Amino acid sequence: MSARKDYIRKLDEELREWDRKIEELEVQVEKATIDDKVEIIDHIERLKTKQKLARKKHEELEQAHESVWEGLRDGVDSIFDDMISYTEAVMSKFKD
């Protein structure tokens, strides 16, 4: 398998993991106090916005010509790294 395909597969896995983490946060909303609910919902919306951008970049990467995909990778990595950090921070804040 090519490096590009491996990289895209890795991004697919990360997007699925974010789906699961967002679902976990949505469950936390049910258990949270009113004040925490507002904050959790805000974080969920931010995560969904970041995830939407990550999906767009993922699509661009899939459609990019083989000769230019590596040039796109740094920008995609930055978005995904930001998303991972933010997701982990939010999840740790609202763990039971």
Tell me: the pLDDT tens digits for 42-92? 988 988 998 898 899 889 888 888 778 788 888 888 888 888 888 788 778
Q: Locate tokens 């796109």: which residue?
A: 72
Number of H helices and E strands in the chain, helices first, is: 3, 0
How many structural domains comprise the chain? 1
Q: Which domain holds residue 82?
A: 3-93
Would the pTM count as exceeding 0.75?
yes
Largest CA distance in the chain: 51
Q: Work out the angle between the directed axes of helices 3-31 and 34-63 (0-180°, nearest 10).
A: 170
